Amino acid sequence: MRRSDKEITDKVLLEEILEKAITCRIGMCDGDIPYVVPVNFSYKDECIYFHSAKTGKKLDIIKENNNICFEIDIDNELVQQEKICNWGCKYYSIIGFGKAYLIEDNENKRNAMDVISGHYSGKEKHEFSEEALNRVVVIKIEIESMTGKKSGY
């Protein structure tokens, strides 16, 4: 990282950012064309989880190339100054890399969906019908590396 004064190395703070974030942007490569999609997600045990319909572009890409980049940011605020050239932003952010794997069996899907739903609801367990589970696939990203950055805090 070019600006070491902005780097976040504290794993506890990185995990707090992951817990607080609402959206995760997933970056993939469709051949030589980048493709980024925002997703609802959760983080647990050095993995990111999100769900998807059983068909679609992101699944097609993951099946061809499971290398993933992800970005998360929180507490964004525009900081205005008298001169426009001095404007800036306050934020915490994380960029990471990993491998994506599809979870298609209902038992593991149910566990992952509890993690995803718990991220937003605060509850550990939820009811998912077999029909609902059969309509989705869950993607698990095993994080290989991530770096955090903060500005203005």
What six digits make up the tokens of 135?
């309509």
Residues 23-75: tens digit of each pLDDT: 999 999 999 999 999 999 999 999 999 999 999 999 999 999 999 999 999 99
Nearest to 116 by CA among 17, 16, 23: 23
Whole-angstrom Cα distance, residue 36 to residue 138? 17
Asked which of 47-51, 77-81, 133-137 is least confident by mean pLDDT, the reply is 77-81
Where residue 114 sits, what CATH number does that domain have?
2.30.110.10
Q: Residue 97: give the domain boundaries.
A: 4-151
Which pTM value belongs to this model?
Answer: 0.89
What six digits make up the tokens of 103?
């979870």
At residue 43, the pLDDT reads 96
Residues 111-129: tens digit of each pLDDT: 999 999 988 988 888 888 8
At residue 1, the pLDDT reads 62
Mean pLDDT along residues 83-94: 89
Considering its fold, how many domains does the chain have in total? Answer: 1
Whole-angstrom Cα distance, residue 29 to residue 113? 26
Q: Are 26 and 58 in contact (CB under 8 A)?
A: yes
Give yes or no for residue 86 having a pLDDT over 90. no
At residue 75, the pLDDT reads 94
